[in-house]
Amino acid sequence: MSVMQISVFLENKPGTLKKMTSVLAANKIDMRATSLAETKDFGIARLVVDDALAAVNTLKENNFVASLTPVLAIEIPDEMGGLDNLLTVFDEAKVNIEYMYAFSGGSNKDHAYMIFRVSDTKNAEARLAANKSLKMLTQEDLAQI
């Protein structure tokens, strides 16, 4: 039940991020979550969108370097300890988290959503699927949020 994340390499200079978001907006691609990491010369924008394949193709057609990566998208209660409880499940399943970021949205204000890049997505999915308290999102779920 992984979803696809787009990683976009961006030159670290004014206006580059705006160019990327303009391309997405012009093509009616809706960003659900985003994270931006930078170094002195370049940045990596990580995006979860409603239609990952259309987005990565559109970005490439517009001269952006973009790639797809499977990530886990999980709904968690928006309450004190919600993330800690989820991380306990990851810990017990011995799933290594490489990075994570959060987003909110949709009509369910009692929940937040977390994106996780893990070292072994398929293994993590299998280990986490047994836990009935987790709601792992699909690409279709993201299009509804």
The rounded distance, in Å, linking the Cα atoms of 72 and 64 is 24
pLDDT band at 120 (very low <50, low <70, confident <90, very high): confident
Fold observed for domain 3-70: VC0802-like (3.30.2130)
Query: What is the DSSP code (8-state) at residue 136?
Result: E
141: left (phi over 0), alpha (psi -120 to 50) or beta: alpha
- Inform me whether the pLDDT recorded for 121 exceeds 70: yes
| pLDDT on residue 144 | 81
Domain 71-144 has what CATH class? alpha beta
Q: What is the pTM of this model?
A: 0.88
The residues spanned by each domain of the chain are 3-70, 71-144
Q: Decide whether 3-70 matches 71-144 in CATH topology.
A: no
